[in-house]
A and B are shown apart, each in its own frame.
Chain A
């Protein structure tokens, strides 16, 4: 165990404490490791009946049964689970083990194994093993309890790894979605000679707002636009940062000699604009697109 601690290299991932730190957090000592190992033979022997038992329990649930295509798959998953629980008592708790557990967590996540299902299976295993170990060690129940408590620590460490992976995977998916949203192109449409319409849809972060501004300004120059209607009906959320981005775009359009009209303002957007000190005097606004286009046309004529 001391070898393991000494050899655990610092990981590139700074947010995640290194393996030895995690082990310290769960208070898993060399004693716990050797106690768990003392259970190895028993656990090995009992793993199979427990898992058989568990699958009888699991397959009695309609929702769980739908996860499996056929008996072959059930057999394969059973084998995997056997290995999983054997490693729990026998494997060295090193970086490689952690990486492997995280990989399994990822597979679970992709296969749609929910945290409830995962933790439930774990609890079932620990509970069954506990009962059987207590039965076998009736002559020394105190030792049985201490062995099981040590195994409990390792099991919790193990579960934490899997759950972290779940969270990480979900977070990565959300991030990906957000990136896709912010990379959505915003078309700059020419409604008629000199009048541009820009329907903004989705979320507007500073990266996208900057691109939007640059594009609008270029199109104003290229199409010799005199008026621009910026429609934000489809913008998910407008906070004061987004509002100030929109004002910047409109101000820059004015500097280039094009009048900008902002349309599709919801009550929240109006409040956000007031909060950053923008009033309708400094800005042409309209509640809906039709009205906005009418205003723009009037401004172009006048």
Chain B
């Protein structure tokens, strides 16, 4: 539980809010923390909130995509919320389109998306 990113719990949804640009080891640490907690808390959804980030490098993006696939294999869904315009644009230019990963504009929408409440 030594990760730099706190993982909160809201019902059966885990929420990880990234507050600063993470190094490669931090983001890998977050990945294993989340995968562990999904089972531990019997979570159905995971939200990664990146709204505070104005950059996201290719390693970070790829790891998030991997994380989404792995979370799915453990029986839950992952959504990335709050991607900023600049981040979205540079990700697209790098060809990192997060195909198959759910996205939402903010935490609230993301929660609604994962809990199936809709809007």
Interface residues of A (CB under 8 A from B): 213-214, 217-218, 220-221, 224-226, 248, 251-258, 282, 300-302
Contact = CB atoms under 8 A, between A and B. Distances in A.
A226 B105 contact: yes
Interface of A is mostly: helix
7 contacts: A213-B92, A220-B85, A221-B85, A224-B105, A224-B106, A257-B83, A257-B105
Nearest to A210: B89
B105 A255 contact: no
B92 A255 contact: yes
B91 A257 contact: no
A115 B5 CA distance: 74
Contacts of A282: 99
A252 B105 contact: no
Contacts of A257: 81-83, 103-106, 109-110
B119 A255 contact: no
A97 to B, nearest CB: 51
Interface of B is mostly: mixed
A206 to B, nearest CB: 11
A213 B83 CA distance: 14
A114 to B, nearest CB: 47
B118 interface: yes
Contacts, number: 62
Most buried by B among A220, A224, A255: A255
Given A255-B98, A302-B118, A217 B105 contact: no
Contacts of B80: 255
A256 B88 contact: yes
A214 B83 contact: no
Interface string B13-27: 000000000000000
B51 to A, nearest CB: 9
A282 to B, nearest CB: 8
Contact of A214 (B87, B89, B98, B103): B89
A302 B84 CA distance: 24
Most buried by A among B86, B88, B109, B119: B88
B93 interface: yes
